Structure 1
């Protein structure tokens, strides 16, 4: 069985240095971290959990509070990639994840449950937009993903910028009748994306009727279908639609085709998220890409820093987004 002494011998570093790397201490060089972690991965080193707990006064468990409106759980096309990235990074430091029951949500009883289980920290992954408790009173390191909380670490995408990139692209293609299928306005991401859309429309001085902004609900395929039907029923149809989520965009594209119209020849569509399905549909979806791997990894880094008492502030992180051009948008003919 591989021990910490074997890791030290193989890397050439002292047992103290190896221990500091495994416990995520700050005063270790990046070179040492990379070398030690590479050897840990190579030999499949797994420290004895009971011994680690006694030696470090940590449980080496992270509580995961995860909830989303579509009720698909970890199969969710966006959150699944974020959770996987978070999990991979935490595993580098030998942390296990403890998922709380889905029906618990972010409640006082949830934190009490996690404290009883002795977790070292909590990651909250949800976009419900519901009022939450004052988690600070529980004195537990916590990081929120996709939904900022006052006084807490949070990692979110630059949603407003993503909307601006979408409108910039459509405007550059000559579109002036640009509609928006938004997410439910109880959700932080949906509000931010709608605000970004409206700011970009204002930037270009476009006169967009209020009927061009349609609530598609909780980023579902069905919500996209219903919202697109409403847009198609308007006396003057848009030439382009910016959709707040890729699942909704797929639903919108399906409706357009069912109504005898074509994407992008009749209506251009641009989504948000860049879920795996986006590049495989016909036509492949132009979208705003969220860096799901970086969101998960940065969330893990912030939580580890808070657990180890090296966090400098609680401003959180805003992750850049990127326009991915495919074939669902086209230039408007003069």
Structure 2
């Protein structure tokens, strides 16, 4: 059988024709020579590049160095204060530490998870980064679409969630097993009405935590009650407080609450105490991540320690190994977590 010729990828001319500009204008955008270009023209060229999945050919640009020595950290997060989130900050710090040690920079770029936005990949499309770490939120099908789009653009990719795609490297924490251990701890203390709190936007690590919670209930023969699972608001203490208040008003309220992260847990504790309920005597409360403030709450927070900084470090290490040709086969890593028992549960 005769091998089919590989389809030629679109070049500057195709982008120029779609955008209605000259080839030189497209070249100027690719090389970031846009100081005399209108914002409308630049946007039109970038949209054409995204539509065509145009990837600049660094070898065709004379003496330009092919590597940028820059890692892209690409995030989908609905919160405009996404970098203030303690887990995101830990992951970014881990990526940044390894990048600095290896002579790389980090470019952080974010988008909203409500629809597929190829603008998230501009650092790759514009050849401003050698590879990417993906930290995604949103519905699983949407996240998978983003991973698929990223695979079209670069082979240097690390995803911070489990995926059915065997062609990409992943780094995660053992959230599901950890959540099961945390739930089992509450079950062993005699709790049977255990609630679970999360945010309105889905996150892969929280999906795993919720699954582990359900696993432990099933193993103990305790029926799962959908009325005790709430996914509202964002990862703010105020969201945890609102959900805990609503739960305390149901006819058969929970005697324990598992919050999807420590911020929600702190909000839940404050709301319960404002209603005259004692933690843990009336309602036990536990969280996830073991942020620095967890041991300083009143009472100190029982939580599952998740190694966000190490997740970032491993992701950056794997990405750099791929960029530099020291690792080519996809790698799947799941880092251990630790149950930290304190006074709240």
In the alignment, structure 1 segments of 5+ residues that lack a partner are 1-53, 330-334
Residue from 65, 78, 92 that aligns with 2:101:
92
Q: Please name the residue that 1:70 is paired with.
A: 79
Distance (Å, rounded) in 2 between the aligned partners of 1:278 and 1:99: 27
In the alignment, structure 2 segments of 5+ residues that lack a partner are 1-62
Is 2:130 aligned against 1:120? yes
User: In the superposition, relative to structure 1, how do residues 210 and 75 fare at CA in structure 2: closer, same or farther (>3 Å)?
Assistant: closer
Deviations 1:216-252 (A, max 9, x none): 4433222212221221011122211111111111111
Contact 1:183 1:216 in 2 (8 A): yes
Distance (Å, rounded) in 2 between the aligned partners of 1:228 and 1:264: 14
SS at match of 2:93: helix
Distance (Å, rounded) in 2 between the aligned partners of 1:124 and 1:190: 16
Is 2:290 aligned against 1:308? no
Q: Please name the residue that 1:275 is paired with.
A: 291
Deviations 1:81-126 (A, max 9, x none): 1111111111111001122365799743333443324421112223
TM-score with structure 2 setting the length: 0.73
Q: What is the number of equivalent residue pairs in this alignment?
A: 276
TM-score with structure 1 setting the length: 0.75
User: In the superposition, relative to structure 1, how do residues 314 and 106 fare at CA in structure 2: closer, same or farther (>3 Å)?
Assistant: farther
Report deviation, 1:291.
0.8
Contact 2:218 2:224 in 1 (8 A): no
Deviations 1:269-289 (A, max 9, x none): 110111122121111111011
Q: Please name the residue that 2:6 is paired with.
A: none
Report deviation, 1:215.
1.9
User: In the superposition, relative to structure 1, how do residues 218 and 233 fare at CA in structure 2: closer, same or farther (>3 Å)?
Assistant: same
Q: Please name the residue that 2:158 is paired with.
A: 143
User: In the superposition, relative to structure 1, how do residues 183 and 100 fare at CA in structure 2: closer, same or farther (>3 Å)?
Assistant: closer
1:291-302 to structure 2, matched below 5 A, reads 291-302=307-318
User: In the superposition, relative to structure 1, how do residues 185 and 302 fare at CA in structure 2: closer, same or farther (>3 Å)?
Assistant: same
RMSD between aligned alpha carbons? 2.5
SS at match of 2:279: coil
Is 2:169 aligned against 1:160? no
